[in-house]
Amino acid sequence: MTSRTPCPCGLPEAYEECCGRFHSGTASAPTAERLMRSRYAAFVRQDGAYLLRTWHPRTRPARLDLDPAMRWTGLEILATEEGSAFHSTGTVTFRAAYRGDSLHERSRFERVDGAWVYVDGDFLG
């Protein structure tokens, strides 16, 4: 029996059919936006290995220290530019809410060996 845990990324699918398959490595995010959503879900689930695996080798930190007390409460995609199956780069502007505040960022993504990866981002006001 499959669990019907909702995916934290905000899409209507269950976690296993949505970002869970990206986290487990059985599928790759097909667009920059889906990678962004899966990375948000990885922050929610404290999956540092996935976050590092989907970070561009040029900008990837040596390690990632996630705060276990951090409680992410929602993701809103505000804009996407390029980032489809037909592009090699893309940007996603989003607002990620956490208990007491939110993070507003325009993230840049590139394809490396065919897979979307996070490059970096600009924090917005």
pLDDT tens for 12-64 read 999 999 999 999 999 999 999 999 999 999 999 999 999 999 999 999 999 99
User: Would you state the pLDDT for residue 42?
Assistant: 98
d(CA 74, CA 90): 22
The whole-model pTM stands at 0.94
Q: What is the DSSP string of 15-66?
A: TTTTHHHHHHTSS--SSHHHHHHHHHHHHHTT-HHHHHHTB-TTT--S----
Q: What backbone torsions phi and psi does residue 14 show, to the nearest 5 degrees?
A: -70, 155
Q: How far apart are CA 76 and CA 7, in angstroms?
A: 14
Please tell me the distance from the alpha carbon of residue 51 to that of residue 40, in angstroms, as a whole number.
Answer: 9
Question: Using CA atoms, how far apart are residues 98 and 60, in angstroms rounded to an integer?
Answer: 23
